[in-house]
Amino acid sequence: MSTLSTFPQYTPTSVEVTTARSAPASCDVVGWAIGTAGPVPRQIGLNRAALKAEGFTGAIGQTLVVPRADGPTMVAVGIGDADALDANRLRRAAAAFVRSVSTRASVATNLVEVAADHGVDVAAAAQATVEGVLLAAYRYVGLKNEAGNANALRTLILICGAPRVKAAEAGAVTGVVTARAGRLARDLANTPPAYLTARRMADIAVEVAGQKGLGVEVFNRDQLEAMGCGGIVGVNQASAEPPRMVKLTYKPSRPTGHLAMVGKGVMYDSGGISLKPSDAFHQVMKMDMSGAAAVLCAMSTLAELKCRTQVTAYLMCTDNMPSGNAMKLGDVLTIRNGKTVEIHNTDAEGRLILADGLSLAVEDQPDAIVDIATLTGAALAALGPEIAAVLGTNQKFITQVEASADRTEEPVWNLPLERDRYRKLLDSVVADMKNIGGPFAGTITASIFLSEFVGDIPWAHLDIAGPMKSDGDDGVWSKGATGFGTRLLIDLARNFAPVS
């Protein structure tokens, strides 16, 4: 991935991950896992009472840096109740550890060994530890002149005994792949909109596809128009930048199922002539392509992870701008599947482009479709900045999405689709539906809108308007774009089982 040559803002993951039987004397830092009870490693040089006196109780997220006159700095890394340790807690502990020593290049830790001693699967522990470290160490440095802003981390050493090395290395490789995907998704969403246009996004997708063994096709405005994709063409029509739709395909031999992914790629959402009212809204709307970024980055990992599921992905990329050519309220668009939509607000653009993407996905007849989108401010209002909404037409498939969210700690909450009650809010006098449903239940009415385009294929929709960004450094999230959903989608593809 470091050869994304045409993408100057990309932050390569130049962190080497290795295993060792014991902490190398040459490393800068060693992090020792310490629970709220139980033994304190002698290497820390402090006993439990001394740690307590410094305010370190062993809770997850806590760290205590103990400098030494010579040799590596020792860090007490809280793991909470060691018997309750799991991959998610380990990921958080690892994130806190690396944040406590962000200026150091070479860090070692026994987190994996201790987790395994307490019954956590070795590979899962290694994957989570690597993810925690690499994700928390992320900084967007694409446009900074001072390299000092970058995290200094270059080497991560997982300390573990010989019998566990093989599993730890396998898990570490998976962790590097998933964390790298999450970091690329952040880079894409943090990139200023003038640098990351729809055309640029498509170029990057082609480059990623070439490196990562994916099939790729790019569709331009005329092709989209000829295909009847009236949603993306309509949203794009006021823009100086042309749209792009990118179709990515991953097909292993003898796949165990076929999943489709659709990502909202609004490169900048000004609202169109229903212009967004404040700078604060505009400020974050370069990230309105976070869904498409999550899909692209998830796709980038599937071959490396030997995913057994066939996956077909659509990135729906355009910006949403006002101009003399803009869609007007009352205009009617015809979506790829033939349904007509009356525009009541040009700022409800995500559902219009997703409607084309979902319609195309249905034509491939996959076993299920998942879409991911920064779709509604209402999702942020309902669930806040840390939890995504999930809605859909098939509860078994939603359960799979929830299981992936639990494993990756990219949390989701299932809101009800309630088509029988609320479909009427989308009724239009002149078309099959309006593109907005009124002031209430905005996440639900947006989802009901999308459900008009999925036919009878099991479908789940992720609204990531809340967690697309973080207001500060917090656990694995670094301030700015989060890449939320990237690891969830990877996990979903790897564990997908067709539902009835």
Which amino acids are annotated catalytic? 276, 351
Q: Which of 113, 169, 288, 491 binds Zn ion (CB under 5 A)?
A: 288
Query: For 109-164, what is the HEC assignment?
Result: ECHHHHHHHCCCCHHHHHHHHHHHHHHHCCCCCCCCCCHHHCCCCCEEEEECCHHH
Structure tokens at 8: 């100057």
The gap from C-alpha 156 to its chain's centroid, in whole angstroms, comes to: 23
One-letter identity of residue 462: L
Tell me the window of 47-55, 142-150, 286-294, 422-430 that interacts with Zn ion (CB under 5 A). Answer: 286-294
The one of Zn ion, Mn ion, ligand BES, none whose footprint includes residue 436, by CB under 5 to 8 A per kind, is: ligand BES
Tell me the window of 66-74, 133-141, 184-192, 348-356 that interacts with ligand BES (CB under 6 A). Answer: 348-356
> Considering only residues 212-271, where is the footprint of Zn ion by CB under 5 A?
266, 269
Q: Given the complex with Zn ion, which of 139 and 461 has the nearer CB atom?
A: 461
Residue 378 interacts with ligand BES (CB under 6 A)? yes
Residue 376 interacts with ligand BES (CB under 6 A)? yes
Task: Count the neighbouring beta carbons within 10 Å of the beta carbon of residue 456.
Answer: 8
Q: Which residues bind Mn ion (CB under 5 A)?
A: 269, 347, 349
- x/- contact string, 288-307, with ligand BES (CB under 6 A)? x-------------------
Q: Given the complex with Mn ion, which of 269 and 491 has the nearer CB atom?
A: 269
The one of ligand BES, Mn ion, Zn ion, none whose footprint includes residue 57, by CB under 5 to 8 A per kind, is: none
Give the 3-state secondary structure of residue 433: strand
Query: DSSP secondary-structure letter at 497?
Result: -
Residue 491 interacts with Zn ion (CB under 5 A)? no
Cβ atoms 367, 312 nearer than 8 A? no
Residue 374 interacts with ligand BES (CB under 6 A)? yes
Structure tokens at 183: 């970091």
- The closest residue (CB) to ligand BES is 377
∠ CA(115), CA(117), CA(119), 5° rounding? 75
Q: Which of 61, 242, 377, 498 binds ligand BES (CB under 6 A)?
A: 377
Cβ atoms 97, 133 nearer than 8 A? yes
Q: Given the complex with Mn ion, which of 195 and 281 has the nearer CB atom?
A: 281
Residue 263 interacts with ligand BES (CB under 6 A)? no
Cβ atoms 34, 77 nearer than 8 A? yes
Min. distance of Cβ 143 from ligand BES in angstroms? 22
361: which residues sit within 8 A by CB, 6+ positions away? 260, 262, 312, 314, 369, 454, 457
- Distance from C-alpha of 468 to C-alpha of 288, rounded to nearest angstrom: 8
DSSP string covering 326-366: ---TT-EEE-TTS-EEE-S-TT--HHHHHHHHHHHHHHT--
Cβ atoms 388, 484 nearer than 8 A? yes
Closest by CA position to 409, among listed 151, 132, 216, 144 = 132
Residue 322 interacts with ligand BES (CB under 6 A)? no
Q: Given the complex with Mn ion, which of 319 and 349 has the nearer CB atom?
A: 349
> Considering only residues 440-469, where is the footprint of ligand BES by CB under 6 A?
442, 465, 468
> Considering only residues 347-366, where is the footprint of Zn ion by CB under 5 A?
350
Structure tokens at 265: 């790629």
The one of Mn ion, Zn ion, ligand BES, none whose footprint includes residue 142, by CB under 5 to 8 A per kind, is: none
- Distance from C-alpha of 32 to C-alpha of 44, rounded to nearest angstrom: 8
Q: Given the complex with ligand BES, which of 380 and 401 has the nearer CB atom?
A: 380
Query: DSSP secondary-structure letter at 287?
Result: G
Residue 347 interacts with ligand BES (CB under 6 A)? yes
Q: Given the complex with ligand BES, which of 169 and 347 has the nearer CB atom?
A: 347
The one of ligand BES, Mn ion, Zn ion, none whose footprint includes residue 345, by CB under 5 to 8 A per kind, is: ligand BES
- x/- contact string, 401-440, with ligand BES (CB under 6 A)? -----------------------------------x----
Binding site for ligand BES (CB under 6 A): 269, 288, 345, 347-350, 374-378, 380, 436, 442, 465, 468
Residues that bind Zn ion in the complex, under the rule CB under 5 A: 266, 269, 288, 350
